[in-house]
Amino acid sequence: MMKTSCLIRSVLFPTALGLLLSLPVGAQAASPAAAKPKAKAKAATDSGPATQVGVQELLKNRSKLDGKKVALEGMVTEICKHKGCWAMVHDVDSDADGLVRVKQDDNQSNFKAFLPEHQGKTVVVTGELHETRIDTAYLDKWEARVKAPAKDAAAGQEADHSRDASLKQIAGLREKLAKSGKSYLSSLQVSVDKWEVKADAKTDAKAKRS
């Protein structure tokens, strides 16, 4: 049941808090055609080293980095409570609004869960950046999927809570989109290849003395 709940959350959308905080930075107008939700992002075109970026730099250069391999440094502010497969990271050196969601496949061979003790830690996450553009058509399709009848009673009962939460997120995003005056809102996610906690300089110094 935990795996199903986690899957429902990842398929339907990121948490409302992380998503809404990430949207205002760099949201921009677009033509109706450009505002359509993007299909699966293309693979990175280079096999060289990842571009090292902080959260604010990534947000400012989202178009340039979309589909590229990045090494994102940020502070963990929220973690998946089911399997630790995703986290939200905030800029380490700035109080500016803006979060980026980092997500890993829990079936990948090198899966390493984000744990509660990682919250507040600085991490470096390496993976491919994907941008999702959220417009009215995107929200209509999402809402239709959420409201679709469950295939069986058990699945329907399990999905009730997730359905209500998702509809609340959709309503919030519709309001956010209307207030923005833009054709779409933008949300970013890094598909994780690997990640690590960045060592604290004070901790390193203490370890060397001991």
Number of folded domains that form the chain: 1
Q: How far apart are CA 99 and CA 20, in angstroms?
A: 9
CATH of the domain at 107: 2.40.50.140
pTM recorded for the entire structure = 0.65
- Mean pLDDT of the 6-30 span: 40
Q: What share of the chain has pLDDT > 90, as a percent?
A: 54
**Residue 25 lies inside a defined structural domain of this protein:** yes
Is 208 part of a structural domain of the chain?
Answer: no
Residue 209 lies in a domain: no
3-state SS track over 8-21: HHHHHCCCHHHHHH
Give the containing element (helix H, strand E) for 160: helix 153-180
* Token duo for residue 17: 């808090």
What is the per-residue pLDDT for 140? 97
What's the token pair of residue 110? 């090198």
Question: Comparing 44 with 114, which gets the higher pLDDT?
Answer: 114
- Model pLDDT for residues 168-180, shown as the tens digit of each residue: 999 999 999 999 9
User: Which of 12 and 123 is assigned the larger pLDDT?
Assistant: 123
User: Is 204 domain-assigned?
Assistant: no
- Tally of CB atoms within 10 A around 63: 10
State which residues form the domain around 100.
2-198
For residue 91, name the pLDDT band (cuts at 50, 70, 90): very high
Residue of 42 and 197 predicted with greater confidence: 197
Residues 6 or more apart whose Cβ sits within 8 Å of residue 75: 89, 90, 91, 92, 120, 121, 122, 123
Residue 182: per-residue pLDDT: 92
pLDDT at 2 over 80: no
Bridge partners, residue 124, by sequence: 73, 196
pLDDT greater than 50 at residue 3: no
Q: How confident is the model at residue 153 (pLDDT cuts 50, 70, 90)?
A: low
Position 17 confidence tier, pLDDT thresholds 50, 70, 90: very low
Q: What is the DSSP letter of 116?
A: G
pLDDT of residue 163: 87
Of 129-133, 146-150, 160-164, which range is least confident?
160-164
